[in-house]
Chains A and B, each alone.
Chain A
Amino acid sequence: MPEPAPPGKPPAWQDPRVRALVFQALAIAAALGVVAFIFTNTMANLRRQGIASGFDFFGTTAGFGVSMSLIEYAEHHTYFRAFLVGLLNTMLVSAIGIVLATFLGFTLGIMRLSRNWLVAKLAAAYVEIVRNLPLLLQIFVWYFGILRQLPGPRQSVSVLDAVFLNNRGLFSPEPVLKPGFTAIPIAVAVALVAVFALARWARQRREQTGQHFHTFYVSLAILVGVPFAAAAATGFPLRWQYPELQGFNFVGGMELIPELVALVLALSTYTAAFIGEIVRAGILGVSRGQLEAAQAVGLTRGQTLRLVIVPQALRIIVPPLTSQYLNLTKNSSLAAAIAYPDLVLIFAGTVLMQTGQAIEVILVTMAVYLTFSLLISLFMNWYNRRIALVER
């Protein structure tokens, strides 16, 4: 009887390890091939068009003006400074937008859960209308449809004769700092440190002795009292300068250009619709048993909300909330469509046109946004680790 053939080594192309190596080598080769193809073509094209690559253009004079800048900027400054102007304007519009969207979004989320039928339906209608329309359309409506249609400075819409809204923008009183003002930020910092220390002490005492301390009211007193005392001691070193109508426009006060106002309004009302849904889902996501357990151990309504519902809802809310913040920051790039001088308009628009350095300019722009999203996802990972449920 012939012996069955011993199970020899399988052929190399059936060995999973060999296959893995081959596939990965092929993937690297393909990726490198694509990169090399693009690189050689680009180099050849640039040579033909006579464009020198590199980042030297950052140092040359920009020669164009910008309608709004947080730092000193004029035509004789460099492209790098223009880049900074755009970056800061992007960060400004995102920061204001995030704050407003959070307020509006939490309000909407709570309204949708209201036991009042009309309030809940109004909030639902708002969410369904706003999130099903393109953001760019909403920016256009705010800018071309509303703000540019407003009357001129002489017929401004005014609030308490202090804030004026017209087709030139939003004018509001500007705080003017008098000498001695530095005492107030210091007082605020001291108060904050004191409040944190107090909260820590109160928690430790509660965990050790079970005694409750009215942290909230004491903190409030410290937070309001200390800065107020400092302000009183230095003679209230803050004055408001009101905008005044002179000739055809307002002078003095703080001026927000209409592009900024339209962009902030559109971004925050749009993102708020999404945040509202996140908040609603987060609160609904806390199981009913938690609420009933809290009532069973005799917590008051306020305590239930503060100690049981909110901490658990936040666990659900914060990760999608941060990604909405990131979306808002990325969406602020639509500023280019209404000529708000953000990173995309100044840098990927004007600077690109003037220098012709398409590759460098677009790569830098993308790198900026990638950095934002990387920072946000690092924060999110840190937060998720911190709040992760410790299971038995």
Chain B
Amino acid sequence: MANRVQVGAPGTLILRPPATVGVAGWVRQNLFSSPANAVLTLVSLWVLYVTVPPLVRWAFIDADWVGSTREACDREGACWVFIRVWFDRLMYGFYPESEIWRIHVGYGILAVAAVPLFVPRFPWKHWVGVFLLFVYPVIAFHLFVGGTFTVDIVDLLAGLALAAGTVARFAPALAARPWSPRWRSIYPAFAVVALAWLLLGGRLVGGPLLPVSATLWPLVETRLWGGLFLTLVVASVGIVGSLPLGIVLALGRRSELPVIRAICVAFIEVWRGVPLITVLFMASNMFPLFMPEGVSFDKLLRALLGVTIFASAYMAEVVRGGLQAIPKGQYEAAQALGLGYWRTMGLIVLPQALRIVIPGIVNNFIGLFKDTTLVLIIGLFDFLGMAQAAASNAHWLGFAIEGYVFTAFGFWIFCFGMSRYSQHLERKLHTGH
């Protein structure tokens, strides 16, 4: 009689509705709302029962964790000793052990520099961006490659002046104080002279004027690079390199000039239409043929070029999405103010468009990050390639699964984290309108 409550006139009984609150209510509503649902729930529970406990037993309870030889793995479960022994290889490839600190310093600078980007309202984000996109790659290159480098002080000064001048000309907001209008009229001539000097100066005067060479640390050839480090290098270079190219292609595709539009559309659609693996085959087999005699570049550089070209086509489509999302009124307002094409794009449209497409760029990065595994097919030992190589080592046969689980874990952490971040950005940017 507990379920029956007397209401109204004596003698009229109605059933109390089933509970909808508390644990029992939740289970009833969400798991057993109908016979069909109950069956589904039981099937799901069975699936979980069949998969999860054996997995936990294999990965944790029966696993071997300590030791440094194959003989340490004598139990039924996973052999994490395998990962422990190969850990450095999986992280850094064949990078000399005494030089690994350089990779750490590179990661460290990146991490420290990137922190402000995640702080809302950090005032100098622009400068951090400029540092990450233009300065950091130079530092990272010298850190990771090393060896003797020669710099002509004159070239260096010319380059710095050109960079500073260009920033002042096109992004006055970044400069500390407003630059005089006269600068604007001098700039083109200045830029031409500086560029010409950088490209031809050395040849004209028959050698560097004020050469300075230094060896801070020994050279590490790129064929020694590998593991997660190589994966990160390929993915980062691909995404950073594809950004400018992708922006240019996207602008070209929306251009009113038919020839430029046709060239850009053809470029984008060709690279989007073929699988990355054929692009990598092309890069490793055909690029050497394209270059004049005597010019050769190593396998990694070829792969990087291939990946960058491939990624730029996808980047172009992402940026185009952003350009199309900018209301026509913005273009018209810019024209009404008398701005030309480049200033309309540079000052009005692109800053807004690039902001909206940040989540798209992050998604592109996730895809590229996963796709970098393909470089193992042309013989580079990335994270997965290194795990594959370790598993086929004669002393450690039979532990392929452990290697895959470990790499899967690494990839998953990165990709899942980034996709969550991109969803967060999407929500944040969405509320702005």
Residues of A within 8 A of B (CB): 20, 23-24, 27-28, 31, 37-38, 41-42, 44-46, 48, 114-119, 122, 128-129, 132-137, 140-141, 144-145, 330-331, 333-334, 336-337, 344, 348, 352, 358-359, 362, 365-366, 369-370, 372-374
- A144/B400 in contact, CB under 8 A: yes
**Distance of A141 Cα from B401 Cα, bound (Å):** 7
**Distance of A370 Cα from B419 Cα, bound (Å):** 29
Contact partner, B370, options A46, A133, A352, A365, Cβ 8 Å: A133
Expressed in whole angstroms, the minimum distance between the Cβ of B130 and any Cβ of chain A is 28
Q: Chain B residues with Cβ under 8 A from A365's Cβ? A: 278, 281
Residues of B within 8 A of A (CB): 30-31, 33, 37, 40-41, 44-45, 47-48, 256-260, 263, 269-270, 272-275, 277-278, 281-282, 285-286, 288-293, 366, 370-371, 373-374, 376-377, 384, 388, 391, 400-401, 404, 407-408, 411-412, 415-416, 419
Q: Chain B residues with Cβ under 8 A from A330's Cβ? A: 274-275
8 other A-B residue contacts (CB within 8 Å) besides A23-B260, A144-B404: A44-B293, A46-B289, A117-B30, A133-B408, A330-B274, A362-B282, A362-B285, A370-B274
Contact partner, A133, options B47, B257, B274, B412, Cβ 8 Å: B412
The binding surface of chain B is classed by DSSP as helix
A-B pairs, 10 with minimum CB distance: A373-B273, A132-B415, A117-B30, A24-B259, A330-B275, A134-B370, A358-B285, A333-B275, A136-B373, A134-B373
- B257/A24 in contact, CB under 8 A: yes
CB nearest to B402 among chain A residues: A145
Known: A119-B40, A337-B377. A133 touches B411 (CB 8 A): yes
Known: A140-B404, A141-B404, A348-B281. A20 touches B286 (CB 8 A): no
- A119/B377 in contact, CB under 8 A: no
Number of A-B residue pairs having CB atoms within 8 Å of each other in the complex: 148
- A24/B260 in contact, CB under 8 A: yes
**Distance of A331 Cα from B270 Cα, bound (Å):** 16
**Distance of A136 Cα from B37 Cα, bound (Å):** 36
Q: Chain A residues with Cβ under 8 A from B377's Cβ? A: 334, 336-337
Contact partner, A117, options B31, B260, B281, Cβ 8 Å: B31
A selection of 10 A-B contacts at a CB cut-off of 8 Å is A122-B44, A134-B411, A137-B407, A137-B408, A336-B277, A337-B377, A344-B281, A352-B281, A365-B278, A366-B270
Expressed in whole angstroms, the minimum distance between the Cβ of B61 and any Cβ of chain A is 21
- A118/B31 in contact, CB under 8 A: yes
Q: Chain B residues with Cβ under 8 A from A128's Cβ? A: 416
CB nearest to A45 among chain B residues: B289
**Distance of A182 Cα from B408 Cα, bound (Å):** 50
Q: Chain B residues with Cβ under 8 A from A359's Cβ? A: 286, 289
Q: Chain A residues with Cβ under 8 A from B37's Cβ? A: 115-116
Known: A41-B290, A145-B400. A348 touches B416 (CB 8 A): no
**Distance of A365 Cα from B404 Cα, bound (Å):** 30
